[in-house]
Amino acid sequence: MSAETAADLPEPLADVPAERWPRHIAIIMDGNGRWAERQGLARVAGHDRGGHVVRAITRECARLAPIEHLTLYCLSSENWKRPAEELAFLMQLLEAYLVNERPIMMEDNVRVRMIGRREGIPDRVLDELDKTVSMSAGNDGLQLNLAINYGGRGELVDSARSLAYQVMAGQIDPADIDEQAIGKHLYTEGRPDPDLLIRTAGEMRISNFLLWQISYAEIWVTDRAWPEFDEATLHEAILDYAGRERRFGGLNR
């Protein structure tokens, strides 16, 4: 890391060598509703506050040059079980986010992509999502992956189904299916696996998130709910990651 770049980093991250930084951070943003209830507010107020935190953390990751990818678990495939009123608010919040954040994303040179199934998402939300993805396609800074209507098991099913169709069409031999072949049919194709997985609100679960991709990710959990998460907490997670030894099944001698 150059001296100029290090000078722009907050303490104590300025002393972390470039090779010790996570290049891809994935976050399970949990605890919006519980945070709101503790404040005596409606659950939707927690989601609204959480949207502001998304902006702050995305901007901070875009500013921290060693970070190249940020994946946010926005809506799981299981979240459709929530009350209709809460889901309607979440869709409105997502639509507003996609519209309102465009100038900031362009200013910060952020490229937006979606991972997940499009089925079930309202057309108006998909339209705004497609506009944001298209508008930011030429940006070459932070890659922001929004996991919407996403489920890790569903992703693996879709990958297997796609490979099965190729086998039926005679385009691939079953004996040639390996990890690389499966990876090419995941929603995250072309993007590196996460180095660091952050979960908020103290929950010790993966919750069907990036099951294939986080095989060797370092996991960091905070008791803070997502509306309480801030740049200092992000820095804490990065610093903890930098102090770990990643062996990928091998031995460090």
User: Which residue, 134, 130, 154, 126, is CA-closest to 210?
Assistant: 154
Treating both helix axes as pointing N-terminal to C-terminal, what angle do 84-100 and 43-63 enclose, rounded to 10 degrees? 30
215 is in an annotated binding site: no
Mean pLDDT of 57-82: 94
102 is in an annotated binding site: no
43 is in an annotated binding site: yes
Residue 50, amino acid: G
Mean pLDDT of 63-69: 95
Fill in the DSSP letter of residue 245. P
- E-state strands within 42-169: 69-76, 111-115, 143-150
Residue 108, amino acid: D
pLDDT at 2: 43
Residue 211 CB neighbour total at 10 angstroms? 14
Q: What is the pLDDT of residues 93-133, one digit of tens each?
A: 999 999 999 999 999 999 999 999 999 999 999 999 999 99
CATH number of 21-242: 3.40.1180.10
Mean pLDDT of 13-32: 95
Q: How far apart are CA 155 and CA 116, in angstroms?
A: 7
pLDDT at 10: 80
Mean pLDDT of 227-235: 97
3-class DSSP state of 16: coil
Q: How confident is the model at residue 249 (pLDDT cuts 50, 70, 90)?
A: low
The pLDDT of residue 235 is above 80: yes
Q: Are 183 and 189 in contact (CB under 8 A)?
A: yes
80 is in an annotated binding site: yes
Q: What is the pLDDT of residues 135-178, one digit of tens each?
A: 999 999 999 999 999 999 999 999 999 999 999 999 999 999 99
Q: Cβ contacts of residue 251 below 8 Å, gap of 6+?
A: none
Domain boundaries, the chain: 21-242
Treating both helix axes as pointing N-terminal to C-terminal, what angle do 231-242 and 43-63 enclose, rounded to 10 degrees? 60
The neighbouring-strand residues paired with 166 are none
The pLDDT of residue 227 is above 90: yes
32 is in an annotated binding site: yes
The pLDDT of residue 4 is above 60: no
Q: Which helix (H) or strand (E) holds 219?
A: strand 218-221
Q: Which helix (H) or strand (E) holds 209?
A: none
Q: What is the pLDDT of residues 185-224, one digit of tens each?
A: 999 999 999 999 999 999 999 999 999 999 999 999 999 9
Q: How far apart are CA 218 and CA 225, in angstroms?
A: 20
3-class DSSP state of 115: strand
- Which carries the bigger pLDDT value, residue 246 or residue 24? 24
Q: How confident is the model at residue 11 (pLDDT cuts 50, 70, 90)?
A: confident
The catalytic residue positions are: 30, 79
Sign of CA dihedral 191, 138, 94, 39: positive
Fill in the DSSP letter of residue 223. S
Q: How confident is the model at residue 244 (pLDDT cuts 50, 70, 90)?
A: very high
